Amino acid sequence: MLRQKSLPLSTKKTSLFSLNNMTKTSKLHISGGSNIFKHLSDALLPYHIKKVGSCLFIVEGTLAKPRIGIRYPGYKLKQIILKRPNKNSALWANLFDFEVVPFEKGREGSSVHFTYPNLLKDFGMYKKDNISFWKMIVRVHDHNVIDGNPPKLNGIDPRQFLEMLKWMWIQEDLNYKLSWKEVGSKIPYRLLNRNGGPTSKGAGRDKFYAALILVHGNYFSADSIRKIIP
């Protein structure tokens, strides 16, 4: 089914299921730019009361050849129980939390390998001196966009690196930085940590971006940065 050019967002339903026979997989067409959070929140909201991780959306690649998916709802999404809620009460926490899922040769892989420390180590070893790759990282940070084909570099596949980073950063902003109004959510929610404390107005993606800048500029090694920015 062809995507209509006039729509910035569309979902493509399918009868494809994951290996555990419980997760229905759909394709999300999400445009980059500053409105990506609004488009994503509109797409995910209908599924927020589903079982944790029961919805898998392909956000990079195709259903036939997926590269990156997001599994929703995330485990940080919680319902808030209030004794006397009113029409302005936020009854949900971390409403748009999700897990970023890499695919390897069409099969779902493990996100455990794509931690920030692992990405930083790979960047420091194989990618920090490549100007073209660095410009693509800046574009992802500033606009949530990956333009053209990345240069061929050793280590983690450069496109997979950028696409994982893009969606990890989106997740980071949704969980630790942006309010429900800034996201454009249709219902209010709060950003809370595991102890119930607020996490809004945090650094979001900028924390790891700062680490990349310091390694790219040869100010610190990846190992040293982990001691400064854990």
HEC string of 7-54 equals: CCEEEECCCCECCCCCCEEEEEEECCCCCHHHHHHHHHHHHCCCCCCC
Confirm whether 171 is domain-assigned: yes
Number of domains, the chain: 1
What pLDDT was estimated at residue 227?
Answer: 77
Instruction: Quickly state the pLDDT bin for 200 (edges 50, 70, 90).
Output: low
For residue 182, the enclosing domain spans: 9-228
Reported pTM = 0.86
Confirm whether 33 is domain-assigned: yes
Confirm whether 2 is domain-assigned: no
8-state DSSP, 112 = G
Confirm whether 15 is domain-assigned: yes
C-alpha 63 chain-centroid distance: 18
Confirm whether 14 is domain-assigned: yes
Q: What is the pLDDT of residues 132-188, one digit of tens each?
A: 999 999 999 999 999 899 999 999 999 999 999 999 999 999 999 999 999 999 999
Tokens of 107: 């099969």
Residue 51, CA distances (Å) to 47, 48, 58, 70, 190 in order: 9, 8, 18, 14, 20
Confirm whether 183 is domain-assigned: yes
Tokens of 23: 């997760």
Confirm whether 41 is domain-assigned: yes
Confirm whether 195 is domain-assigned: yes
